């Protein structure tokens, strides 16, 4: 894990994601302050060929970033159209995907043209889904503007929309042409959104060794938790590197490694669904990770001190309040939703649990319902 002294180098860091297959693919994840100011030039440098760009964003970002993004793309010679959706999880739906398709058709977009997702996880998932299915695949660029998106959801090629109350039920695997993470966008992020993003960051500390063999990120977070803004580029870079390593090794989630990225998500998605998305994704992940650690300790997979360290880290980054104010649902309700999780196979609930040492995890689908209900009840 890089030291804080290396921030100047990491602020311009680029990670290449190289994927094998019938047609080998490669794209950069670029983390840099001020990227939006040179977005058009970066797209041209990458060899984006189509003339048209549709910028998909939401009402939270419309006034702050849409104008500058359009201007920079136009200066680089692109014809720019925009579509602004209502902010929130409700926009990640098939009906909103249809609105995107209609705009693309009306404006004469071809598969060589570009769909650029400007926003957080909802916009990223929806833009990826639409880009992957319009003309069976058009150019996709992610410009994530939240911490959750910069460290996690914009990386790796998973796209999805929700189907009714079931999260991410309809989706594809589709890689972008590039991910441009402008760290300056986080300066305007509401504190609640930033805090929620820290749940995904902490997740990487708990799965690091299993993903790329390295150690120390959880401890690094414990060291720097009181001044995160000072180490932001290094933190984002490390998370992106872990995610990229997993994606390169298991792009289509067929080898088991990519499951590790779902630590806390099976519990968390249930809380998201039952709250009708009244809690943020990162908040749900924070709740879910704590439940996963408690279950691991209960089942003898992990020593109890990890739960104490996790609680202490939550306290320092502001996530303790999420646990304290977590919505209360009947344990059997939560369990019922967990049984519908798309990762499940053969009737068992697939869970990713900490195992033996910080950074290591194991996939289990044989945990009895009674054991899961126990941690949900206590």
Question: In this predicted structure, what is the pLDDT of residue 127?
Answer: 98
- Ranges of the chain whose pLDDT falls below 70: 1-12, 22
For CATH 1.20.1090.10, list the domain ranges present in the chain: 191-377
Enumerate the active-site residues. 136, 158, 200, 243, 253, 258, 262, 265, 269, 281
3-state secondary structure the chain: CCCHHHHHHHCCCEEEEEECCCCCEEEEEEEECCHHHHHHHHHHHHCCCCCEEEEEEECCCHHHHHHHHHHHHHHCCCEEEEEEECCCHHHCCHHHHHHHHHHHHHCCCCCCCEEEEEECHHHHHHHHHHHHHHHHCCEEEEEECCHHHHHHHCCCCEEEEEECCEEEEEEEECCCCEEEEEHHHHHHCCHHHHHHHHHHHHHHHHHHHHHHCCCCHHHHHHHHHHHHHHHHHHHHHHHHHHHHHHHHHCCCCCCCHHHHHHCCHHHHHHHHHHCCCCCCHHHHHHHHHHHHHHHHHHCCCCCCHHHHHHHHHHHHHCCHHHHHCCCCCCHHHHHHHHCCCCCCECCECCEEEEECEEEEEEEECCCCHHHHHHHHHC
Fold of 33-187: Rossmann fold (3.40.50)
List pLDDT tens digits, range 131-172. 999 999 999 999 999 999 999 999 999 999 999 878 888 999
For CATH 3.40.50.1970, list the domain ranges present in the chain: 33-187
Fold of 191-377: Dehydroquinate synthase-like, alpha domain (1.20.1090)
Question: In this predicted structure, what is the pLDDT of residue 100?
Answer: 98
Question: In this predicted structure, what is the pLDDT of residue 346?
Answer: 73
pTM of the model: 0.91
List pLDDT tens digits, range 214-243. 999 999 999 999 999 889 989 999 999 999
């Amino acid at each position: 894990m890089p030291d804080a002294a290396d921030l100047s180098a990491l602020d311009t860091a680029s990670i290449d994601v190289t994927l094998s297959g019938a047609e080998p693919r490669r794209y950069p994840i670029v983390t840099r302050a001020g990227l939006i100011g040179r977005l058009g030039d970066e797209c041209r440098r990458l060899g984006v060929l189509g003339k048209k760009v549709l910028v998909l964003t939401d009402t939270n970002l419309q006034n702050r970033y849409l104008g500058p993004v359009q201007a920079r793309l136009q200066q680089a010679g692109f014809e720019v159209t925009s579509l602004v959706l209502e902010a929130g999880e409700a926009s990640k739906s098939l009906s909103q995907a249809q609105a995107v398709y209609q705009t693309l058709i009306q404006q004469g977009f071809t598969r060589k043209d570009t769909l650029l997702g400007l926003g957080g996880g909802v916009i990223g998932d929806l833009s990826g889904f639409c880009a992957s299915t319009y003309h069976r695949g058009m150019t996709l660029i992610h410009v994530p503007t939240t911490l959750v998106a910069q460290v996690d959801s914009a990386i790796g090629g998973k796209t999805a929309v929700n189907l009714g109350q079931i999260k991410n039920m309809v989706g594809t695997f589709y890689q972008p042409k590039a991910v441009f993470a402008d760290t300056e966008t986080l300066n305007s992020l509401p504190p609640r959104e930033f805090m929620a993003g820290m749940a995904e960051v902490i997740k990487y500390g708990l799965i690091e060794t299993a993903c790329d063999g390295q150690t120390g990120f959880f401890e690094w977070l414990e060291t720097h938790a009181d001044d995160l803004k000072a180490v932001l580029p290094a933190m984002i870079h490390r998370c992106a590197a872990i995610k990229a390593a997993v994606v390169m090794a298991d792009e289509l989630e067929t080898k088991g490694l990519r499951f590790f990225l779902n630590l806390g998500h099976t519990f968390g998605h249930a809380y998201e669904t039952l709250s009708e998305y009244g809690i943020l994704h990162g908040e749900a992940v924070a709740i879910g990770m704590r439940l996963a650690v408690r279950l691991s300790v209960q089942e003898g997979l992990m020593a109890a001190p990890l739960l104490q360290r996790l609680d202490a880290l939550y306290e320092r980054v502001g996530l303790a309040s999420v646990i304290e104010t977590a919505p209360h649902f009947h344990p059997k309700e939560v369990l019922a939703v967990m049984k519908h999780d798309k990762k499940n196979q053969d009737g068992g609930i697939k869970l990713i649990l900490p195992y033996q040492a910080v950074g290591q995890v194991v996939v289990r689908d044989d945990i009895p319902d009674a054991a899961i209900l126990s941690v949900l009840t206590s």
